[in-house]
Amino acid sequence: MTSVDEPRTAGGVRLGIDAGVATLTIDRPEARNAIGFATITELRTALDEVETSDAAVLVLRGSGDRAFVSGGDLKELSAVRTHDAAVDMARDMRRVLDRLASLPLPVVAALNGHALGGGAEVAIAADVRIAADDVKIGFNQVTLGIMPAWGGIERLAQVIGRGRALLAVTTGDLHSAEQAHALGLVDLVVPRADFEADVAALAGRLAALAPGATRSIKSVLLAAEPTVHPATEDHATRVFAELWNGDAHWDAVARLEQRRAAH
């Protein structure tokens, strides 16, 4: 299957497939590429299309050069005010990222900008992360009185180890690209000026392998080290929902909105 980028949709998800390379872009610059409800639905549909295509590799990125994904869209998600609704919200996006993590072809997260909070969870669901040298990445949900609930804690522990994962999530520290590389959170760091060319070159190398090679290799890796953790879904989404509906979360959201309004 070969296609060109489709027009921008309500959720800001664009998919293009060309010469074995699928490129999935979250194009919501007005919201720093944040994830809204329509985005979740459109990502699910796009991943279905990628899986059934002849693509050998998927490149996942945000639009522009400021943000990869800035997390969930608080303007939309703030409407969620009950425990059950918070569980449903977290579970829906968690399952989309589970799908991303278990795709039968390699997934490259191209960190064209900062990956914060839920954006870091999107990045860690990929197989490989390549970052421009001026970006930051951090699981900083704790600054809003909540925690990662999209499978990010489990996948982060797999990638960088339990202790480092605990520190990353509980401190909410933002890591420079080089710091993230030292932690093993980012696999490749390239100069900003070379970023687009280097991402294209990496994707092209993977797509140029023998037909079916990337999917065969990915299948063995998934068998050796599963990237989806269904046993923790109920607990993770439930404790997230408890935090989401707590006073500490809404107080932190109010302070954030005040800071944004002041600027």
For the segment 96-152, what is each residue's pLDDT rounded down to a tens digit? 999 999 999 999 999 999 999 999 999 999 999 999 999 999 999 999 999 999 999
The string of DSSP letters for 101-159 reads HT-SS-EEEEESSEEETHHHHHHHTSSEEEEETT-EEE--GGGGT----SSHHHHHHHH
Residue 79 pairs with which residues in a beta bridge? none
Residue 8 has pLDDT above 70, yes or no: no
Please state the rounded mean pLDDT for residues 214-237: 97
144 close to 249: Cβ distance less than 8 angstroms: yes
Task: Give the per-residue pLDDT at 3.
Answer: 42
CB 74 within 8 A of CB 146: no
Range of lowest pLDDT (4-18, 23-37, 58-72, 182-196) = 4-18
- What residues have CB less than 8 Å from 64, skipping those under 6 apart? 29, 33, 112, 113
Q: Is the pLDDT of residue 226 over 50?
A: yes
Average pLDDT over residues 159-168: 98
**Cross-strand pairs, 136:** 176
pLDDT at 72: 94
Which CATH class, in words, describes the domain spanning 13-262?
Answer: alpha beta
Is the predicted pLDDT of residue 251 greater than 50, yes or no?
yes
Q: What pLDDT, on a 0 to 100 scale, did the predictor assign at position 9?
A: 76
26: phi then psi, degrees, rounded to nearest 5: -95, 110
- Span 237-252, average pLDDT: 97
Q: Residue 261 — very low, low, confident or very high, per pLDDT cuts 50/70/90? A: confident
Among 41-55, 70-84, 125-139, 165-179, which stretch is predicted with the lowest mean pLDDT? 70-84
Q: Of 31, 28, 54, 55, whose CA–CA distance to 43 is shortest?
A: 28
Residue 60 — φ and ψ, nearest 5°? Answer: -110, 130
Q: How confident is the model at residue 260 (pLDDT cuts 50, 70, 90)?
A: confident
Which structure tokens are listed for 229? 């953790």
pLDDT score recorded for residue 1: 30
pLDDT at 5 over 80: no
> Residue 7 has what pLDDT?
56
What average pLDDT does this structure show over 153-175?
A: 98
What lies within 8 Å, CB to CB, of 240 at 6+ separation is 86, 87, 90, 146, 147, 149
Q: How far apart are the first and last CA of the chain?
A: 45
pLDDT value for 180: 98
Alpha helices in the chain (DSSP H): 37-52, 74-77, 83-101, 118-124, 152-160, 162-171, 177-183, 195-207, 213-224, 233-244, 247-262
As a whole number, mean pLDDT of residues 34-54 equals 97
| Banded pLDDT at 93 (limits 50, 70, 90) | very high
140-168 in b/e burial notation, b at 16+ Cβ within 10 A? bbbebbbbbbbbbbbbbbebbeeeebeeb
Report how far residue 198's alpha carbon sits from residue 10's, in angstroms, rounded to the nearest whole number.
Answer: 30
The whole-angstrom separation of Cα 158 and Cα 211 is 29
pLDDT at position 6: 55
Share of the chain above pLDDT 70, in %: 97
pLDDT band at 2 (very low <50, low <70, confident <90, very high): very low
Read off the pTM.
0.95
The average pLDDT across 73-92 equals 95
